[in-house]
Amino acid sequence: MKPETLFQPATPPFLINPHPKRLFREAIAQLPMNGIHTICEEAKCPNRGECLPRHGTISIMVMGSICTRGCPFCAVATGKPLPLDPEEPGKVVEIARALKVRYLVMTSPNRDELQDGGASQFTAIVAALREFNPDLRIEILVPDFQGKEESYGVLLRNPPDVVAHDLQTVPRLYHSIRPGADYERSLGLFRWFRRKADPSRVTLKAGLMVGFGETEGEVAEVLRDAAQAGVRFFTIGQYLKPPGSSLEVVEVVPLERYQRFTEAGKKLGLAVQASPLTRSSYLADRLAAENKRP
């Protein structure tokens, strides 16, 4: 007898972004990247064929492409990072100039080997961008800086418009999904900015992936915790196993659940962007524009 073949269900259409990835490669080839990477490519984002070619938006990854942590869901390489590039602020300005962007998102890998976790590099880049274009809206997606409040303070020397940080999953799953991180520590980052930052200038944003086996009630608890910590924007999207990841998808979350996430967040005062292909910085300019403070 032939061995039984396990049935592999087809990928639901709502988990496939129809825009060809080659469009991203062709568009990025026209930019003066000068060694700067994009999180779009490093994290194998399913939307990378859409955002830059169709909307002129990009999420750049500063401070290299090597992370000091090894989260099993992530495709970013783990290892010993290279020293910081003092020319990086100018290089980011050239990317912003080439794209003619009005809204720029940048993130970084964890740089736990640095005393301030890279906060001063973020600040230097924001300052260079402000000098280039004072009207440019800037969002930074930051690591937890190991909970160092002095690093948070560095970011406020030249504050961005949005400080984003990914919670990634529900507290029960942190040990297996996000080793090296701590749920309360991440909430502590938001609480610190809620106390110290001018809310008319700095908006707080959090993100969550689903499909790890979390319950709907657990997601509702995270939304509540985030709102109480001062978060205003919240993104929720399906975890899709990227190449190189060791973590399997537990569940494909049905579409109707995203609508319930959105409604639950709305009741808490959160502006929620929730869909299968939503990522932390997916169309971030639209989320910000549609939810301007009065």
pLDDT for residue 293: 63
pLDDT for residue 39: 80
pLDDT for residue 7: 39
pLDDT for residue 3: 41
Q: Which domain holds residue 35?
A: 18-290
Listed in sequence order, the residues at least 6 apart from 35 whose beta carbon sits closer than 8 Å to its beta carbon are 85, 91
Query: Tens place of pLDDT for every residue, the chain, 294 residues?
Result: 344 444 345 678 877 787 788 878 888 888 899 989 888 887 778 888 788 777 777 889 999 999 999 888 887 889 999 999 999 999 999 999 998 888 999 999 999 999 999 999 999 999 999 999 999 999 999 999 999 999 999 999 999 999 999 999 999 999 999 988 999 999 999 999 999 999 999 999 999 999 999 999 999 999 999 999 999 999 999 998 887 777 899 999 999 999 999 999 999 999 999 999 999 888 888 888 888 765
Task: Tell me which DSSP letter residue 232 carries.
Answer: -
For 173-223, the DSSP string reads: GHHHHSTT--HHHHHHHHHHHHHHS-TTT-EEEEEEEE-SS--HHHHHHHH
How long is the chain? Answer: 294
Q: What would the two tokens of residue 103 be?
A: 């809204």
Listed in sequence order, the residues at least 6 apart from 4 whose beta carbon sits closer than 8 Å to its beta carbon are none
pLDDT for residue 9: 52
8 A C-beta contact, residue 161 and residue 139: yes
8 A C-beta contact, residue 232 and residue 203: yes
Whether residue 248 lies inside any domain: the answer is yes
Distinct helix (H) and strand (E) counts, the chain: 11, 10
pLDDT for residue 10: 61
pLDDT for residue 63: 96
Whether residue 8 lies inside any domain: the answer is no
pLDDT for residue 44: 78
Q: What would the two tokens of residue 237 be?
A: 């999207």
Domain count, the chain: 1
CATH (domain of 154)? 3.20.20.70
Backbone angles phi, psi at 157, to 5 degrees: -65, -35
Q: Quick count: other Cβ atoms within 10 Å of Cβ 87?
A: 10
Whether residue 275 lies inside any domain: the answer is yes
pLDDT for residue 4: 43
Whether residue 261 lies inside any domain: the answer is yes
Whether residue 240 lies inside any domain: the answer is yes
- 3-class SS of residue 261: helix
Whether residue 3 lies inside any domain: the answer is no
Whether residue 50 lies inside any domain: the answer is yes
8 A C-beta contact, residue 105 and residue 59: yes
In whole angstroms, what separates CA 9 from the centre of its chain?
A: 29
pTM score over 0.85: yes
Task: Tell me which DSSP letter residue 141 carries.
Answer: E
